[in-house]
Amino acid sequence: MDKTRIGVIGLGGIAQLVHLPILSKMNMVEISAVAEINKNRLRNVADKFGIKARFSNYAEMLEKSELDGVIIATPTNTHPQIAINCLNAGQNILVEKPVAPSLKEAKEVNEAAKSAKKVAMVGMNARFRPDAMLLKSLINSGELGNIFYIRSGWARKQSSKELWFLKKKESGGGAILDLGIVLLDLGMWLLDYPELKSVSVQKYHHKTKDVEDSAVGFIRFKNSSVINFEVSWSFHSDTDSFALTAFGTEGTAQLNPLRAYKKIESGNIDYTPGSTGNKKDLYKKSYENELKHFIGSIRGNNPVISSCQDAVHRMNLIESIYKSAELNQEIACK
C-alpha cells in the first residue's frame, strides 16, 4: 500500500519531541512537508529529519505539496484559521489541543470539518494511554457498575516554555487549558460524555499574571455523576503527579498505575493487569497510539476518536469553567 503523506505545521517542542520522531519511524507514513515561520527552526528541524519540502508559509505548503493529512502544532490562537484553511484545501487534520481558544471558534472548525467531510481529530493523547484504554474497556464491560464519581488531579511544569504560552490572547488560558482540558476530557470520555449540569471552579495566579497557574473544580452532570479536578503548574510536586480514580457502584479503578477492584460479598476481586508499563513508556505510547489512530482514520481503517465534535463539547465546559472562576460561584451549564 502507498504511504500516507503527512505535513506538519508548527515545529515547536511537541512537533520536535513527539510528532516528528514517532512519524519518522512509522513504516506506512512519509513526512512530506513541514511549515514553520521561524526560518532558523525550520531549517534545523527539517535538516534533522531529512525533510526536503519546507515552507515558511503554510498556505504555500498546502498549495504545492501532495498530502493526505496535516498535523497542526502552532500556538492556540492560530488553530482555528489554520484548521479551516486545511479543511477547505481538502486535508484531513490532527490539531493539537485545544482546538481553539473559544467555543465559538471550536464550532466554526467543526462546521468546516462537516462541510469538507474530512477527518478532524483533536490531540487528546491521555485517551490513548494503554492504562486508560484498559480502564475504558473495563468500564464498558460493566464490571465496575455505573461510574458516578471521578476524582482527578495533575500537577506538573507548564507544557511549553514558549512566550506565547503565558499570554491569554495567544494561549486562551493557563493550567486549565494545558492540563485541565486533558483530565476533563478523559473523565467525560470514561463517563460517555453525559450532559452537563453545573460547574464550580476556583483559579489562582500565584506564579503567573495573565493566565492561571492552578485551578480546582467540581463538575456536575445531569445523570448525577460528578468530576472533581485540580490542576497546577505551581503546586509542589517532586514528580509529574497525574492521577485519576473512577468510583463505580460495583467497583473502583485508578490510573497511573492502573489498579481495579470489583466488590463482592466476601471482599474484592482484583482486576489489576500484570503490567501496563512505566510512566515514561505510557506517555510515549499514548502519542504513538494517537498518531497511529489518526493515520488509520485517514486510511479508513477506524472511526475517529477525539473528534472535533467532542472538542466542541469540551470547549462548552471550558467556557463555563472560566465563567464560574471569574464570577466566583457555581453556574449552570448551557
- pLDDT tens digits, 306-324: 999 999 999 999 999 999 9
* Within this chain, domains 4-124 and 126-332 share the same CATH topology: no
**For position 272, what pLDDT does the model report?**
80
**For position 115, what pLDDT does the model report?**
97
Length of the chain, in residues: 334
For helices 79-88 and 103-116, the axis angle rounded to 10 degrees is 10
83 contacts: CB under 8 Å, gap ≥ 6 = 72, 93, 95, 99, 100, 109, 112, 120
- pLDDT tens digits, 190-233: 999 999 999 999 999 999 999 999 999 999 999 999 999 999 99
- CATH fold for domain 4-124: Rossmann fold (3.40.50)
**For position 1, what pLDDT does the model report?**
60
- Region 126-332: CATH code: 3.30.360.10
φ/ψ of residue 234, rounded to 5: -120, -10
Residue ranges of domains in the chain: 4-124, 126-332
Is pTM beyond 0.85? Reply is yes
92's grid cell: 484531513
Q: pLDDT-based confidence at 275, cuts 50/70/90?
A: low
